[in-house]
């Protein structure tokens, strides 16, 4: 009896333990089913993650290809930039060379102009000195002419005085001859005296005739000398008038030359009338040289404007190109950062899934 009771108690206990075990088994089965569901879900998540990883890998490959294309484009752009920089440097070197050439041409032209101006100034100075010397000589000849006129006037006055003196002497002799003729018929002594007076009167008359002849000859010579003197005076007056006009013209030319040297303008009237054609040629040469110089200046300014415009255009193109390159690089860096963030996120999700799988495999 006691054994049966113990057996029944043990059997009841075993039944209770079996029920408990059954319940635990059912709960374990439920847990296993739940874990299996979780494993299936994890596998599906892993497949999705693998699919996402494959897509991310493809995207990463595409991004790497895009990066390589961007790198190639960057290298191309950098090469183009270097080529443009080389072209700009060559252009600047060419511009510098042409500027140096133009400066050399301008310096040579200025040296030629300075030499020509120096030669012209030296010629003008020599011409002016020669004219001044001639003016001095003319003044000296004018002074000599005035002295000659003064001496001739004095000689003329002396001749007039001599003529007046001879005329008074002739009148006195004539009166004495008339008195002697009225005393004809007197006594012998008187006749002798009259003869003596007549002889002395004849001598005086001969002397007067000789003096009158000399006076006539002197008058003729004086008239000839006066005629020659008047001709000489007229010729000298003409020459002096011409020289005075020339001197006035030279003074005017000197003033014009001084004004032209001060204001660097054209030279005025020439020194001598026969040299006007040469002066016109010189003025024409000056005008031609000024025109050539103006053309050189215009060409230089036009070349400098063109060079500056080309440099500005090349700098603008280089700035635009550099801005485009910077925009492409910035866009590429932004895309690359976005793709890197996406890849990091996918890798983080994969690590989390792998850890979960390891945990599930460690706890079946």
Closest alpha carbon to 250 in 118, 143, 127: 127
Of 325 and 224, more confident? 224
Residues 6+ apart with CB under 8 A from 272: 246
Distances (CA, A) of 249 to 52, 259, 273: 110, 15, 9
Range name among 232-241, 275-284, 324-333 with the lowest pLDDT average: 275-284
CA 220, 221, 224 angle in degrees (round to 5)? 85
User: What's this model's pTM, rounded to 2 decimal places?
Assistant: 0.28
Closest alpha carbon to 211 in 163, 261, 246, 244: 163
Ranked by mean pLDDT, the top range of 103-107, 151-155, 222-226, 283-287 is 103-107
Q: What is the pLDDT of residue 48?
A: 87
Counted residue by residue, the chain has a size of 364
For residue 173 the two structure tokens come to 């002799």
Backbone Cα Rg of the chain: 70
Q: What stretches of the chain show up as alpha helix (H) in DSSP?
A: 2-182, 188-263, 276-362
Question: Exposure of 91 by Cβ count < 10 A (0-12 exposed, 13-18 middle, 19+ buried)?
Answer: middle
DSSP 117-157: HHHHHHHHHHHHHHHHHHHHHHHHHHHHHHHHHHHHHHHHH
CA 32, 37, 39 angle in degrees (round to 5)? 90
Terminal C-alpha separation, the chain: 47
Q: What is the pLDDT of residue 150?
A: 64
Mean residue pLDDT across the chain: 68
The confidence band for 265, taking pLDDT boundaries of 50, 70 and 90, is: very low
What is the Cα–Cα distance from 21 to 8, expressed in whole angstroms? Answer: 19
Taking residues 27-50, report their average pLDDT: 85
Q: Are 77 and 325 in contact (CB under 8 A)?
A: yes
Q: What is the pLDDT of residue 126?
A: 80
Q: Are 180 and 152 in contact (CB under 8 A)?
A: no
Range name among 179-188, 279-288, 302-311 with the lowest pLDDT average: 179-188
What letter would DSSP give residue 185?
T
What is the Cα–Cα distance from 311 to 27, expressed in whole angstroms? Answer: 87
Q: What is the pLDDT of residue 244?
A: 54
CA 27, 29, 35 angle in degrees (round to 5)? 105
What is the Cα–Cα distance from 323 to 50, expressed in whole angstroms? Answer: 41
Q: Are 102 and 325 in contact (CB under 8 A)?
A: no
Of 178 and 196, more confident? 178
The confidence band for 167, taking pLDDT boundaries of 50, 70 and 90, is: low
Q: What is the pLDDT of residue 78?
A: 87
For residue 353, pLDDT over 80 is answered with: no
CA 139 to chain CA centroid, nearest Å:
48
**3-class state of residue 180 by DSSP:** helix
Of 262 and 348, more confident? 348
pLDDT digits 0-9 by tens, 57-103: 898 889 888 888 888 888 888 898 888 888 888 888 888 888 888 88
């Amino acid at each position: 009896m006691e054994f049966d009771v113990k057996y029944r108690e043990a059997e009841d206990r075993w039944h209770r333990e079996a029920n408990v075990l059954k319940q635990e088994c059912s709960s374990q089965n439920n847990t296993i089913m739940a874990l299996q569901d979780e494993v299936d879900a994890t596998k599906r998540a892993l497949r999705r993650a693998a699919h996402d990883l494959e897509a991310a890998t493809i995207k990463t490959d595409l991004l790497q290809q895009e990066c390589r294309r961007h790198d190639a484009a960057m290298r191309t752009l950098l090469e183009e930039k270097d080529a443009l920089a080389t072209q700009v440097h060559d252009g600047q070197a060419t511009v510098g060379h042409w500027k140096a050439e133009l400066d050399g041409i301008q310096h040579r032209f200025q040296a030629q102009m300075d030499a020509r101006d120096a030669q012209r100034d030296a010629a003008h100075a020599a011409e002016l000195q020669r004219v001044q010397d001639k003016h001095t000589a003319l003044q000296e000849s004018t002074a000599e002419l005035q002295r000659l006129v003064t001496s001739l006037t004095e000689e003329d006055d002396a001749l007039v005085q001599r003529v007046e003196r001879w005329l008074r002497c002739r009148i006195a002799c004539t009166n004495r001859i008339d008195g002697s003729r009225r005393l004809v018929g007197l006594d012998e002594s008187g006749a002798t005296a009259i003869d003596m007076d007549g002889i002395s009167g004849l001598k005086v008359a001969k002397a007067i005739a000789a003096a009158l002849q000399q006076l006539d000859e002197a008058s003729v010579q004086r008239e000839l000398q006066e005629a020659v003197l008047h001709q000489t005076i007229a010729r000298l007056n003409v020459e002096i008038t011409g020289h005075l006009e020339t001197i006035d013209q030279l003074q005017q030319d000197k003033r014009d030359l001084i004004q032209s040297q001060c204001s660097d303008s054209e030279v005025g009237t020439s020194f001598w009338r026969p040299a006007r054609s040469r002066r016109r040629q010189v003025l024409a040469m000056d005008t031609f040289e000024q025109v050539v110089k103006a053309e050189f200046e215009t060409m230089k300014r036009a070349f400098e404007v063109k060079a500056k415009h080309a440099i500005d255009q090349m700098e603008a193109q280089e700035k635009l190109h550099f801005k485009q390159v910077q925009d492409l690089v910035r866009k590429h860096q932004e895309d690359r950062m976005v793709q890197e963030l996406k890849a990091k996120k996918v890798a983080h999700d994969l690590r989390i899934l792998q850890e979960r799988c390891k945990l599930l495999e460690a706890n079946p």
